[in-house]
Structure 1
Amino acid sequence: MVAAAPAAQLPRAVGQWHLNGNAEDSSGRSHHGTVSGATFAAQGLRFDGKSGSLAIDAHQDLDLSRAGTIALWCRPEAPHGALFSWGREEESGTRRFTVVFDTRKAWGEPRNELRMWAGGKRRYTTYSTELPMLPMDRWTHVVVSIDGPELIFYYDAQPVMAVAMPMVMDLAGQSLFVGKYHWSAEEVFRGSIDEVAIFNQPLTRRQVLELYRTQSKSFGHDPTLFSRPDVEPIVQSEAGRIALRVRCAQMGDLPRGAKIRATLGKRVATTPVDPNGRPILLTLDVADLPAADLTITASAIDGKGEQIGHPTEIDVHWPGRDEMFRGVRVLNNLVWELINERQVAVTGERQFAFTQPKRRWIHVRCEGYNVDVAIDGIPAAQPEQMLFLPAGKHLLTLKPRGNGTRVDSLIVRSIPQLVFDSMIPEPHIQSAIPYDADFIRRHIVPHVNTFTVIESGKTPRPLQQLFREIRGTSRRIVGHSPVPREVDKQPITVDGATDFVAKTWGMTHPELDGVVADEFGISRPHCAAYAGAVRRLHASPKFANRDYIPYVGGLFTGEDGRKLVQALVDTGGAFAMKRYLRCPATEQAARDFAWLFLVPFAERYRSLCPGSIESMIVCFGYMCAPNEFLNVAPQANYKTFLDMQFQIVATQPEFWATRGLMNYFVHYADEETSRWIAQLYRHYGINGEAQPAATDPFDSAHHLADGDFSDPKKHWKITPAALDSIRVVDEIHFGWLQGRYPYTPRGDSALVMVRNAGKPNEISQQIKNLEPGRLYSFRMITGEHNDLKKKEEHAVSIGLAGVEVFPEKSFQAIFHNSYAHSYGAYDTTTHAWMNYHWVLFRATDATATLTVSDWRSPGEPGGRIGQPLM
């Protein structure tokens, strides 16, 4: 047996408050605190959620702006108030650095989440992100390690969230308040806090673990987890497997090549340990085992197979495999193989019986020659066809058609509903590459079985050629509909909701199959009215085979929302669970963020709304072009981030048997990313893959650094035309006006070029790590500094040396801020006008040179002299 990792040496704290009946600082630096309102208890300070705090005066020792660590133990009794906050009572709007249970209302609906706020000197320009929720009525060790703009949150020595901010915090001169945030009376913590410590350097994972080790016993935590893995079993009788979620961060740094090995008799599964300390997932195939009580052993092993520390044994009851899945080969959460035959002889009629485990779509692929395929007597197109089938037994028939019949491959898979929103692209910015019906026909239709359509004031959708083509297949088409909450200024009733839905376009048009309802948020009273409407419409033969698919957030948050979910589950309906994720700037931050916004959400639906996952269509936001976009970080590969999200749904046990996949929204996306979404549908939703589709690294900065000009002197060659004709500015909410969503200060930093009559201003940088022969795109947004009211094309040039540029497929477009992105003088009537530049090129070498100039061409300014362009 190999010993677990040795202890790390902790640096000396610059502030340490044991809170044993007083608020004295035991670090020796005399940063004594002042307690008001809170009371000392057997362990630490107890806060009643109404008033009180531990206040510690500002000092340079406690300024963690650029580097440092805060650690504390907390035992929340309810999600209420702040764990800590840096700031001043008279400057509440700055939100310098706060971790708080956010229970305020947003868009009229209450939140219930743990949230971080961080900012600098400017008021109301903060970076905010949700954090993993803390358990109630249990002590948890919370550590935040700060290294410039990058933060890592730890719970009980387990890294749970990396955060990559667009700026460094400014905590200079700010006091530390434990248990309180100066925003409103609601921001006082409810529960107990103990053992607060401040370090003036970011603690490493090993040091965070050592701090936890020294204190955990007195808070009742299990000390055996320092030498063995922590294992959570998840029994999946339909999938025929037992999933094991394993956490081993408390074992410390394991040696290179370490793995987790799970054994059940002769069955063995191994998976490498996550190098960043995150949980890992193993699965044991037990499909052939009868019902039994089982004991599974999980161990950490080194590269030679030697056990590290001690094993963990867990007892699991296996109920046996679900009968509907007998003989089904599970590929991932979404795709299950029902038939897989090779080199099929078809000398006469051949039949293959199969069982569709649940009411959902199938994908039939027959590769052969001179053969007809039918499912339950319904002809299936070749080489592939998608059909919607009820659960139960079905029959596939092959019939020879003349001589020379041959079937090389016959595959039938149960697949999810694959929804594309929407059928006819009307993008806010039209690219030079056609993004039209022919694009949808070629790149989207083969991978989709359901389309949405929006009514148009132009040619009615059902009369358009693409609609006619899709209508002639087995695919479904649903219209869009709003969700009124009131009728005649009174709360909508079941009668009112039924009447409204029954009259919608999707429920009345003979060539539509229902509606997608835009939108429900979290549980609200009107949800119950629509729940009754769903049941009534389902019971009416008039609306047989019509879908009512609401866009939703967290309907599990209240009884009314759960009623709507239950109505959809009971009637075989579906709902589109919105997950619109802003792209973080680093890979680990992106993985943690995607996990946080997907897995706990699905788990809450699964536990609070039984059966809901089989009705859940996961709707991924993929807005990626002005004037509203989620790909807010230029250093990140957004396609890789989308792939991360799809893979979570395809592989994590919480998403087993998910009803479908969906995108939002083609009008906000570019053609490249729409093609990628369709490929992700194919990869995970038809081919049943579990490994990533993307091969590109997440970090695009290895091509081009500092796209937001946060440190241009470090990364860019700057060639001004005159003194100070190129300068860095911090333009409040410039990123928001561009369309970055949700709000982030990322994009507020910009480089201003003041056009000179004598020569151009230029910046340049070498593009690195290109793959010769591969296509790449360069994107840029420009706006006039201090005056975005002018609607004009900006005279700039983008030079790319050492590559093949495709000018006919590149473009420059004028756009304005979204209706939902207002600031200062700019709103829905007074627009902020900007330019979007997009250049397509093919690499011919591993490097190239980018040059951006504020002249249209080398010999022509092309624009106003003195114009300041960002």
Structure 2
Amino acid sequence: MRMLLTLLGIALLSTSVHAAVAAGENLLINGRFDAEQVEFPEFWSPSSAKNVFYDRVGGPDGEQPAVVLKIDGDTPGSTSLRQQGLTLVPGETYKFSAYVKTKGFQCRAGGLIVHNRGWISATGISKFPADSEWTLYERTFTLMPSRNNEYGVAMYATRQTGEIHFADVKLEAVSEGARQGSSSQRSLVNAARLVPLQPLLNKIPRSNPELTCQFYRFQGQEREILECVVTVDGDPIPAQVIPLANDGVLRVRLAGLPRGDYALNAVVRHRETQKTVLETDYAISIVDPPAIDLSNVRQLNNLVAEVLNQPVSANAATQSFTFVNPRDGWVFMAFTGGKLESGSTITLDESDTVITATTDRLEAFRELAAGEHRITVSGNRADARLIVRSIPEILNYPPCVSSRVPENGSYGWDFMKEHILHAVTTLNGGTLPGDALPEAKARGLKWLANFNVDAKGDPAKLRDRMEKTAGMTQPQYDGFTSDELFFGRPTISNYAQALSMVRNPQNRRVYTWVVGKPSIRSLHSDFISTCLNASAGRGRLLFEAYCHPRDNEKAAAAYLDNMVGETMRRFNAFYPNAAAGTGIIFGNFNQIPIISLEHNPQVDFKYFLDMQVNLIANSPDFKGLATTGYWGTYYGDEELVRWSFKLMRHYAVEGNKEMLSDRYGFKYNPGLLANGDFTDGLNGWTASPAAKDALRTRAIAGYGKNSQGRWGGGSAGDTVCVMTRSAGKPNRISQTAEGLEVGKTYCLQFVTADMKDVIGEKYNPRKYGIDVELEGVEILDDKSFVHIDRRNTGRYKDNKKVAKINLNRLVFRAKSATQTIAFTDEKAAPGEELLINFVQLKRYLEP
């Protein structure tokens, strides 16, 4: 269909003078030094990994990150951390601010400076005391000239000794001229982009046919007057060419278009020369959204709304009910309080039989369009209730893949039916063996393949790879997830271009895994918009919320607000109502020695995971969230896997608000044992060495990460207790746990290794001779084990150079309120130096 687009107008909402950056906006990219899932903050270049360090929690509040420029010893050296590519305005006013701490610091020249091209001149903050605690420094200055207005920022020191720490570094444009002409990372930020913001391109309502876009354009010397020409299906719009100001917001009014699908073309060009600056095409749809009456919708928490709760009488006659799904998305249906007889059915929208007498739990999940739906009960002979709830999509990665610690048992289809499928709508990756696939489809589940993005290079080639992936071509899949993108990497732009070109005639789902927080307005708004508009507006942005525990519950809550809450706030700031297309996907992997977020033995990770899901269920930041779930189920121990989906059931299916941990007596800090990682020497332990120096503590750099798999934990796990076996009596350490509840089950875990293997990076797996003494308890043998890590082939071939550990786990039922726990090296060979740490005692969740 070719038709002239009748415009009520393309209204430019920005004024003729529009600042390039806002007052108070940080011109530095990633000035907070965020580095989620990477070793060093993106967009910053250190002079040397030997002398420039990253501390994830070293900042002023003990939570935010910091960078450290450090020279050990008395021999001076030079250090620097730099960010290039800033476009600034000479003669205008700017302001530097940063938190700085020093220790034995001296240098010939150094500080926090902005320099011109070639570093001919510099200005900034340059005088610091030799020793100081965290101090906020600020300086306002007038900028010197530079060729092409190009500048860089550096934290540096020449002839340095000692150390200097920086946190929360900001460069702000103060004067109007500075705000008008300044920008960061010229090649990334200043590329011309026209970003559709709202509504989704395939959900433009005919009753209000308006599409709002944001135009980002070249800055600096590129100040020619621009104009925009919009056509639909190739027809130009006469007399509707509007001059554009810098960074304009455009409202394209589409009045006169009937309901249907169209191709919209937008050309931004120089008004005088007619030279094209940007041309882009969008597939759009004009739709008639259903009228939705929300009067019978009862919001239970952020994630769940009850849309039907009605009694069903013991009447074999057909009984019908209507409910309204408030948005496109998933619903949970349950027949409760009664038993369905053989031949009885519950049917959705006249044709989909969702529940029969043989349906597991008499429950079902379905993905439905927004609007009114009918549910029919036939042949019922019991008084019961019919419940329907609007719920988020709940994702599990991966299905039917068992743990690399085989003592956990199988995580196959039978395990999933018992512990997982009561709280899942969407499966990602993994495998569905035997008859599991038809059963999964009968349950209404979606299954997405996983695709290795590799976004470097030509976007067209990436587009071709995406179109050929299994999730787009094989019938068992409903789409795929792109794994993975980082806000801190320039290749995010290549991916957005490729995704916008993907041909998807079957409209399969394309979801995008992403790491970090958006920070570059033009680049990251474009990326978010592209991801959410994929699959005709059913695309998802899956944020990897893989959270690291803190020492106490208060610190953990502050950390989660920044790690997860602030990320969602930024998503919504960069794209209106981004939550409606966002997935907050938590990490439920805690499996030492494979990969573990459970860094701190003093913390019960079950409670910490509960805090995370509770946050999205209750904080207004997550109102309307589309998706949640987990990555890493096969890397979780069997207890955490079961607990993970109890949490999803509790919050994302039942709609609860209170902590589930309260029902089970779980605590953030159980407080049953102290100093389980020996970070405070032997304090808290009763030590009985067999000989002088036979029992001691020491630090071994990298042991926690390399041998134990404590992922992203910094130096967590690097301190150990060393037992050197004497020819006579063994070494012994002990501690008495208090406050146990008689009859309740507990899990004791500890890790052992051989010190010579660890120091020598030697692969020599075996059972080590450190054992635990537990008297007067009931050991649950089927839940207890000693796992000997033997990985050294396939994807783990590099582990041949890593010393192997034993993961010792004992699950027991307490018979008294106090329990002495002792460790000895009696079974070690004389002269063996064995290590122990990660001594943890916590309540255990029985199946």
Scaled by the length of structure 1, the TM-score of the pair is: 0.62
Q: How does 1:525-544 map to 2 (within 5 A)?
A: 525-537=490-502, 540-541=504-505, 543-544=506-507
> What is the Cα-based RMSD across aligned positions, in Å?
3.9
Q: How does 1:757-772 map to 2 (within 5 A)?
A: 757-772=727-742
Please tell me the residue identity of whatever aligns with 2:571.
Answer: Y
Q: Deviations over 1:729-759 (max 9, x none)?
A: 1222222222222132232221100112322
1:375 aligns with 2:344: no
Give the Cα–Cα distance (whole angstroms) in 1 for the partners of residues 36 and 834 of structure 2.
40
Give the Cα–Cα distance (whole angstroms) in 1 for the partners of residues 731 and 529 of structure 2.
62
Q: Which residue of 2 aligns with 1:867?
A: 833
Give the Cα–Cα distance (whole angstroms) in 1 for the partners of residues 454 and 335 of structure 2.
46
Closer/same/farther in 2, CA of residues 336 and 106 from structure 1, 3 Å limit: closer
Secondary structure at 2:404 match in 1? coil
Give the Cα–Cα distance (whole angstroms) in 2 for the partners of residues 745 and 385 of structure 1.
45
Give the Cα–Cα distance (whole angstroms) in 1 for the partners of residues 27 and 604 of structure 2.
35
1:497 aligns with 2:428: no
C-alpha displacement of 1:545 = 3.9
Q: Which residue of 2 aligns with 1:637?
A: 604
Give the Cα–Cα distance (whole angstroms) in 2 for the partners of residues 646 and 690 of structure 1.
10
The answer to whether the 8 Å contact 2:608/2:668 transfers is no
The answer to whether the 8 Å contact 2:426/2:446 transfers is yes
Q: Which residue of 2 aligns with 1:395?
A: 374
Closer/same/farther in 2, CA of residues 442 and 190 from structure 1, 3 Å limit: closer
Q: Which residue of 2 aligns with 1:430?
A: 406
The answer to whether the 8 Å contact 2:455/2:494 transfers is no
Give the Cα–Cα distance (whole angstroms) in 2 for the partners of residues 716 and 575 of structure 1.
47
Secondary structure at 1:438 match in 2? helix
Secondary structure at 1:426 match in 2? coil
C-alpha displacement of 1:529 = 4.5
Q: Which residue of 2 aligns with 1:325?
A: 294
Q: 2:428 aligns with which of 441, 444, 452?
A: 452
Give the Cα–Cα distance (whole angstroms) in 2 for the partners of residues 638 and 440 of structure 1.
21
The answer to whether the 8 Å contact 2:703/2:718 transfers is yes
Closer/same/farther in 2, CA of residues 399 and 783 from structure 1, 3 Å limit: same
Closer/same/farther in 2, CA of residues 125 and 839 from structure 1, 3 Å limit: farther
Secondary structure at 1:591 match in 2? helix
The answer to whether the 8 Å contact 1:433/1:809 transfers is no
C-alpha displacement of 1:408 = 1.3
Give the Cα–Cα distance (whole angstroms) in 2 for the partners of residues 820 and 172 of structure 1.
52
The answer to whether the 8 Å contact 1:372/1:379 transfers is yes
Aligned length: 592
Give the Cα–Cα distance (whole angstroms) in 2 for the partners of residues 850 and 332 of structure 1.
43
Q: 1:128 aligns with which of 53, 57, 67?
A: 57
Give the Cα–Cα distance (whole angstroms) in 2 for the partners of residues 142 and 175 of structure 1.
11
Please tell me the residue identity of whatever aligns with 1:612.
Answer: A
Q: 1:746 aligns with which of 699, 710, 716?
A: 716
1:338 aligns with 2:307: yes
Give the Cα–Cα distance (whole angstroms) in 2 for the partners of residues 850 and 544 of structure 1.
59
C-alpha displacement of 1:103 = 7.8
The answer to whether the 8 Å contact 1:366/1:384 transfers is yes
1:418 aligns with 2:394: yes
The answer to whether the 8 Å contact 1:424/1:453 transfers is no
Please tell me the residue identity of whatever aligns with 1:128.
Answer: V
The answer to whether the 8 Å contact 1:81/1:179 transfers is no
Q: How does 1:538-577 map to 2 (within 5 A)?
A: 540-541=504-505, 543-555=506-518, 557-570=520-533, 571-577=537-543
Please tell me the residue identity of whatever aligns with 1:771.
Answer: E
The answer to whether the 8 Å contact 1:346/1:398 transfers is no
C-alpha displacement of 1:629 = 1.1
C-alpha displacement of 1:623 = 1.9
1:360 aligns with 2:334: no
C-alpha displacement of 1:437 = 3.8
Secondary structure at 1:502 match in 2? helix
C-alpha displacement of 1:530 = 3.8
Q: 2:580 aligns with which of 591, 614, 637?
A: 614
Give the Cα–Cα distance (whole angstroms) in 1 for the partners of residues 131 and 719 of structure 2.
24
Closer/same/farther in 2, CA of residues 766 and 190 from structure 1, 3 Å limit: closer
Closer/same/farther in 2, CA of residues 513 and 864 from structure 1, 3 Å limit: farther
Q: 2:454 aligns with which of 475, 484, 500?
A: 484
Give the Cα–Cα distance (whole angstroms) in 1 for the partners of residues 515 and 498 of structure 2.
16
C-alpha displacement of 1:350 = 1.8
Q: How does 1:504-523 map to 2 (within 5 A)?
A: 504-522=469-487
Q: Which residue of 2 aligns with 1:216?
A: none
Closer/same/farther in 2, CA of residues 575 and 344 from structure 1, 3 Å limit: farther
Secondary structure at 2:805 match in 1? strand
The answer to whether the 8 Å contact 2:599/2:713 transfers is no
Q: Deviations over 1:304-343 (max 9, x none)?
A: xxxxxxxxxxxxxxxxxx9553321000111011101135
Please tell me the residue identity of whatever aligns with 1:666.
Answer: T
1:78 aligns with 2:26: yes
Please tell me the residue identity of whatever aligns with 2:392.
Answer: P
Give the Cα–Cα distance (whole angstroms) in 2 for the partners of residues 105 and 400 of structure 1.
55
Closer/same/farther in 2, CA of residues 104 and 555 from structure 1, 3 Å limit: closer
Secondary structure at 2:562 match in 1? helix
Closer/same/farther in 2, CA of residues 847 and 435 from structure 1, 3 Å limit: farther
Give the Cα–Cα distance (whole angstroms) in 2 for the partners of residues 726 and 851 of structure 1.
14
The answer to whether the 8 Å contact 1:432/1:810 transfers is no
Closer/same/farther in 2, CA of residues 467 and 720 from structure 1, 3 Å limit: farther
C-alpha displacement of 1:636 = 0.9
C-alpha displacement of 1:499 = 1.4
C-alpha displacement of 1:347 = 5.1
Please tell me the residue identity of whatever aligns with 2:609.
Answer: L
Closer/same/farther in 2, CA of residues 635 and 523 from structure 1, 3 Å limit: closer
Secondary structure at 1:602 match in 2? helix
Gaps of 5+ in 1: 1-74, 83-99, 114-121, 145-170, 193-321, 455-460
1:839 aligns with 2:804: no
Q: 2:649 aligns with which of 682, 695, 698?
A: 682
Of 182-191 and 472-481, deviating more is: 182-191
Q: 2:635 aligns with which of 668, 676, 679?
A: 668
Give the Cα–Cα distance (whole angstroms) in 1 for the partners of residues 793 and 718 of structure 2.
19
The answer to whether the 8 Å contact 1:816/1:831 transfers is no
Secondary structure at 2:527 match in 1? helix
The answer to whether the 8 Å contact 2:486/2:515 transfers is yes
Q: Which residue of 2 aligns with 1:729?
A: 698
Q: 1:694 aligns with which of 640, 661, 669?
A: 661
Give the Cα–Cα distance (whole angstroms) in 1 for the partners of residues 569 and 434 of structure 2.
42
Q: 2:563 aligns with which of 594, 597, 603?
A: 597
Secondary structure at 1:386 match in 2? strand
C-alpha displacement of 1:450 = 1.1
Please tell me the residue identity of whatever aligns with 1:395.
Answer: R
Q: Deviations over 1:539-584 (max 9, x none)?
A: 643x334444434443564534433321333322112111111111
Closer/same/farther in 2, CA of residues 187 and 794 from structure 1, 3 Å limit: closer
Secondary structure at 1:519 match in 2? strand
Q: Deviations over 1:515-534 (max 9, x none)?
A: 11110111655444444554
Give the Cα–Cα distance (whole angstroms) in 2 for the partners of residues 415 and 387 of structure 1.
10
Q: How does 1:466-481 map to 2 (within 5 A)?
A: 466-481=436-451
Give the Cα–Cα distance (whole angstroms) in 2 for the partners of residues 869 and 132 of structure 1.
32
Q: Which residue of 2 aligns with 1:102?
A: 33
Please tell me the residue identity of whatever aligns with 2:729.
Answer: K
Please tell me the residue identity of whatever aligns with 1:390.
Answer: A
Give the Cα–Cα distance (whole angstroms) in 2 for the partners of residues 854 and 137 of structure 1.
63
Q: Deviations over 1:104-126 (max 9, x none)?
A: 9985996489xxxxxxxx99695
Q: Deviations over 1:363-398 (max 9, x none)?
A: 001123344211112111241100010111111111
Closer/same/farther in 2, CA of residues 550 and 843 from structure 1, 3 Å limit: same
Give the Cα–Cα distance (whole angstroms) in 2 for the partners of residues 808 and 429 of structure 1.
14
Give the Cα–Cα distance (whole angstroms) in 2 for the partners of residues 408 and 840 of structure 1.
40
The answer to whether the 8 Å contact 1:420/1:663 transfers is yes
Closer/same/farther in 2, CA of residues 601 and 373 from structure 1, 3 Å limit: same
Closer/same/farther in 2, CA of residues 357 and 776 from structure 1, 3 Å limit: same
Q: How does 1:232-271 map to 2 (within 5 A)?
A: none
